[in-house]
């Protein structure tokens, strides 16, 4: 039976200055937060319950990364400063064509280690190669995730049923594994890579099997323009006709989305995965986050893969999300710290099915992280809520708990052999470059 208390912590539940509570204790039992109070541990708590000293530590909900391609972490830094077409066709695809199972595993393990280190507790991922390995390694890491084998419908339509079948089978076979930590979903790569007929088959399969569905949409202006010329409507509108929004749907990127489409997305209950760093780095533009927020669409945050980010640090992603909106709109009030924090925490958690009511609450899952606040860049500390968004980075995280299980303790990974992961990443990356 898991049972412990963390004491003397500062609590930042939701990014609001007013919600910060100093010198709290939290009791955890069997993966659930049972008590959370802004006071010392009461005298009648037996000392037989193990206590973790949390002095100087800030306790936050974990980060929820809603867009990832974990195996691509092996391709970090492969090519920068080049246009998307060159990046994909000359650098990324030729390497992906050579990826073997060991390489996919090395990239996945590297991503899992990096995510836990930087305070991510759950993520949403799609990849098209050896995705079974991503399910397995994620399960073993102790993280939470919603995963999917990506689908692309170029070429032979006779291959569609097998692709769809494989994706559905994989999603169902892992669904709710790890006491519900792992979930499956469907993720057709994009409207422009999955013809309407294929997309219709996929959305039907999502409904039939009650699986969440996601896709890359409106990442670049050119992609939307081409799509309109080909199909006479935008991807977001066409997806509606193809039944995409009938299950819980997530649109990734959504950089070039009009006001009318925003209204449609709100009506259909779609969620956005906003990827500001990747969109900026690839020169795709800046998503209209202010418009999404105004319409009441839940915006979540994703890093995209390390090949276009180039790390998986959700704290840096939060900061960039805020600064890009303010800078581009030339309006310091374009988004507020608490909006950004909500994107990276609660909105993501809700999309991933982790928690629907709120985070860091008695009765809820014991998914949380601890930061070392005793560092110069996080002082003076009575502005904690601001510092978490505008000054912190993932490397301030010292401890990570998922369902009450400690995945990192004082900056040491518990479920992952980090030395081996770093060695394998170097080894298989060199092999890849030699091929």
**Binding-site member from 125, 304, 313, 399 for its own copies (CB under 8 A):** 313
SS3 content of the chain, % helix, strand, coil (to 5): 45, 20, 35
Q: Which of the ranges 1-9, 25-33, 262-270, 421-429 carries the binding residues for its own copies, by CB under 8 A?
A: 421-429
Sign (positive or negative) of CA dihedral 353, 356, 359, 363: negative
Q: Show contacts with its own copies in window 70-89 (CB under 8 A).
A: 74, 76-78, 80-84, 87
Is 189 annotated to bind ligand? yes
Rg (CA), the chain: 21
Q: Show contacts with its own copies in window 90-119 (CB under 8 A).
A: 110-111, 113-114, 117-118
- Which token pair is 234? 């935008």
Q: Is 10 in the site for its own copies (CB under 8 A)?
A: no
Q: Is 377 in the site for its own copies (CB under 8 A)?
A: yes
Nearest Cα residue to 100 out of 138, 136, 129: 129
If residue 327 lies in a helix (H) or strand (E), which one and from where to where?
A: helix 314-329
Greatest extent of the chain over all pairs of C-alpha atoms, in Å: 71
User: 117 or 183: whose CB is closer to its own copies?
Assistant: 117
Is 216 annotated to bind ligand? yes
Q: Show contacts with its own copies in window 333-352 (CB under 8 A).
A: 333-337
Q: Is 58 in the site for its own copies (CB under 8 A)?
A: no
**Binding-site member from 108, 316, 345, 347 for its own copies (CB under 8 A):** 316
Q: How far apart are CA 60 and CA 79, in angstroms?
A: 34
Contact between 220 and 255 (Cβ < 8 Å):
yes
User: 15 or 184: whose CB is closer to its own copies?
Assistant: 15
CA distances from 54 to 7, 22, 76, 402 (A): 5, 11, 34, 17
User: 2 or 415: whose CB is closer to its own copies?
Assistant: 415
Q: Show contacts with its own copies in window 378-407 (CB under 8 A).
A: 379-383, 386-387, 389-391, 393-396
User: 23 or 375: whose CB is closer to its own copies?
Assistant: 375
Q: How far apart are CA 164 and CA 172, in angstroms?
A: 12
Give alpha helix (H) positions in 334-417: 337-342, 348-351, 384-390
Is 377 annotated to bind ligand? no
Q: Show contacts with its own copies in window 207-246 (CB under 8 A).
A: 221
User: 350 or 429: whose CB is closer to its own copies?
Assistant: 429
Annotated binding site: 67, 69, 96, 149, 189, 216, 219, 304
């Amino acid at each position: 039976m898991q049972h412990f208390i963390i004491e003397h912590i500062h609590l930042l539940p939701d990014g609001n200055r007013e919600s910060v509570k100093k010198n709290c204790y939290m009791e955890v039992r069997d993966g659930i937060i049972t008590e959370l109070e802004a006071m010392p541990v009461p005298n009648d708590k037996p000392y037989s319950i193990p206590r973790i000293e949390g002095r100087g530590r800030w306790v936050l909900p974990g980060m929820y990364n809603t867009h990832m391609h974990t195996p691509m972490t092996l391709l970090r830094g492969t090519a920068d400063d080049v246009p998307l077409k060159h990046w994909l066709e000359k650098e990324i695809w030729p390497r992906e064509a050579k990826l073997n199972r060991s390489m996919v595993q090395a990239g996945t393990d590297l991503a899992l280690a990096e995510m836990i280190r930087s305070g991510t507790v759950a993520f949403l991922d799609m990849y098209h190669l050896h995705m079974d390995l991503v399910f397995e390694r994620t399960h073993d890491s102790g993280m939470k995730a919603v995963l999917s084998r990506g689908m692309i419908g170029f070429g032979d339509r006779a291959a569609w049923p097998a692709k769809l079948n494989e994706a559905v089978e994989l999603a169902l076979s892992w669904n709710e594994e790890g006491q519900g930590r792992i979930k499956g979903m469907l993720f057709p790569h994009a409207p422009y890579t999955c013809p309407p007929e294929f997309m219709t088959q996929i959305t039907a399969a999502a409904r039939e099997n009650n699986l969440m569905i996601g896709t890359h949409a409106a990442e670049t202006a050119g992609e939307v323009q081409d799509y309109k010329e080909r199909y006479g409507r935008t991807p977001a509108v066409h997806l509606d006709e193809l039944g995409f929004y009938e299950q819980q749907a997530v649109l990734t990127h959504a950089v070039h989305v009009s006001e009318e489409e925003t209204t449609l997305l709100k009506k259909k209950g779609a969620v956005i995965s906003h990827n500001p760093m990747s969109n900026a780095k690839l020169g795709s533009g800046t998503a209209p986050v202010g418009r999404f927020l105004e319409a009441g669409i839940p915006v979540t945050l994703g890093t995209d893969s390390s090949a276009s980010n180039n790390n998986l640090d959700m704290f840096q992603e939060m900061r960039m999300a805020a600064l890009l909106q303010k800078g581009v709109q030339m309006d310091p009030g374009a988004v507020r710290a608490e909006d950004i924090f909500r994107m990276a925490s609660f909105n993501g958690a809700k999309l991933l099915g982790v928690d629907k009511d709120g985070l860091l609450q008695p009765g809820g899952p014991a998914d949380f992280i601890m930061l070392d606040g005793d560092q110069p860049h996080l002082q003076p500390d009575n502005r904690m809520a601001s510092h978490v968004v505008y000054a912190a980075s993932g490397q301030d995280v010292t401890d990570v708990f998922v369902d009450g299980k400690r995945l990192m303790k004082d900056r040491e990974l518990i479920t992952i052999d980090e030395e081996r992961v770093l060695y394998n990443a170097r080894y298989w990356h060199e092999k890849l470059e030699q091929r």
